[in-house]
Structure 1
Amino acid sequence: ISGEACGLNEALNLIDRLQLHKVIIETDSLTLVQAVEANKSIRRSWGVVVQRCIDFLRRNPSSSVKWIRREQNCVAHQLARWAEVEQNRDWAYSVPDCIIPLIQKDLGFCNPL
């Protein structure tokens, strides 16, 4: 769960940096989504990320955090692999070539707005 929480934290960093207010965050960590939805303090190392997400959702009621199955999360897993190799690359404004084919595949699985 710590790895998924780290990913959520990085997503929140990017959302803040881009000043986005209406986003859908999708994760394959059911535990993390349930913790955010429960709106309770978590006494684990990843609890601070859950609280940060809860606070973000309060400030941005048009946003949400959704659970999706692992096989629906291909882009995120490829990005994680890519980030291990390209540690200092910033992809906030350009899409890495390695995920372009996966984005179209994942679009069929995305939760509707």
Structure 2
Amino acid sequence: MVNNFNVMLFEFFRRLSSTQQKSAAMLLWSLWKSRNSKLWDALDTSSAFTVCRAKDTLQEWSCMQRAKKQVQNLPCLSSWTKPPVGMTKCNVDAPTCHNNSITDYGICFRNHLGELLIGKSDFLLSSATILEAETIALVESLKMATTNGMHEVLFETDSRTLVDVIKSNATPQNEFGDLIIQCRSFLNSNPDFVVSYIRRQANKVAHNIAIASLSHPSPHVFYHVTTTLYSTILDEIN
């Protein structure tokens, strides 16, 4: 039975054009996610949402492929480093999307000594993709820096795709694209703001802030190192 299905599936794909193959594969992926949501979380997903998710994800993927061709490989760090004197570093992360219904993120601003200036955690009742969640976190961090009158800020994210798309000329025609436009607007208005990619290992503080977001009122802004962050920040400073 399984072999017959595999033969049928590959024969079906063989008859499609390259563009149709991508659309069909993404729709099957979205159907599988809807099936898992129903099976494991007892969550119903509408047909319209399943199709829209497939279309949006495919458009993001296509945009990423174009961006990779336009942007050279960026140097990436595997451990957190202090910014130069006079600069501020902001790390952002949005590690999880709970059942496609909650988006959480963490933001952390530090000075050239590695000391905390301001941090924020928040969660939104939103069916955002992981890439959209990472972009929402970056937009919020850019807003915070602007509102607090910061200059010479280096923003770091562990989403290489996000950085590549921002630096490219590609703009997806969906919600992700709208967020990219917001990011570029902030960066164009603040030429001393820079966005760069780092490895996940160098983004531990923002990650820990994000996963603790559901434990605090939303949003949660703080100016002192919390007990749960103390050891991580101390290790990075040293």
TM-score scaled by length of structure 2:
0.41
Q: Which of 166, 177, 180 is equivalent to 1:47?
A: 177
1:31-79 CA distance string (max 9 Å, x none): 1001111143222322222111112221222220000011111011101
From 194, 197, 203, give the equivalent of 1:67. 197
1:65 maps to amino acid = V
Tell me which structure has the larger Cα radius of gyration: 2
One-letter code of the match for 1:100?
Answer: Y
CA distance in 2 between partners of 1:94 and 1:83 (Å): 16
Q: CA deviation at 1:107?
A: 4.8
**Contact 1:39 / 1:54 at 8 angstroms: preserved in 2?**
no
Mapped to 2, the partners of 1:103 and 1:39 lie a distance apart of 36
Aligned identity (percent) is 30
1:29 to 159, 177, 198: 159
Alignment partner of 1:94 is 2:224: yes
Secondary structure, in 3 states, of the residue corresponding to 1:98?
helix
Quick check: 1:84 aligned with 2:214? yes
Report the alpha carbon displacement of residue 97 of structure 1 after superposing the two structures with TM.
Answer: 3.1
Find the aligned partners of 1:36 and 1:98 in 2 and give their Cα distance: 32
Report the CA distance between 1:17 and its aligned residue: 2.1
Q: After the TM superposition, which parts of structure 1 deviate over 4 Å for at least 4 consecutive aligned residues?
A: none
| AA in 1 matched with 2:177 | G
1:107/1:40 Cα in 2 relative to 1: closer, same or farther (>3 Å)?
farther
Question: Structure 2 vs 1, CA of residues 96 and 39 (structure 1 numbering), >3 Å: closer, same or farther?
Answer: farther
Counterpart amino acid of residue 143 in structure 2: N
Larger proportion of strand: 2
CA 1:85–1:107: 2 relative to 1, 3 Å: same
Give unmatched runs, 5+ long, in structure 2. 1-130
2:168 corresponds in structure 1 to 38
Determine which structure has greater relative contact order: mean sequence separation of CA pairs < 8 Å that are 6+ residues apart, divided by chain length. 1
**Paired AA for residue 13 in structure 1:** K
Q: Which has the higher helix share?
A: 1
Superposition deviation, residue 16 in structure 1: 2.4
- TM-score, normalising length from structure 1? 0.80
Could you say which residue in structure 2 is the equivalent of 1:7?
137
Bigger CA drift: 77-86 or 5-14? 5-14
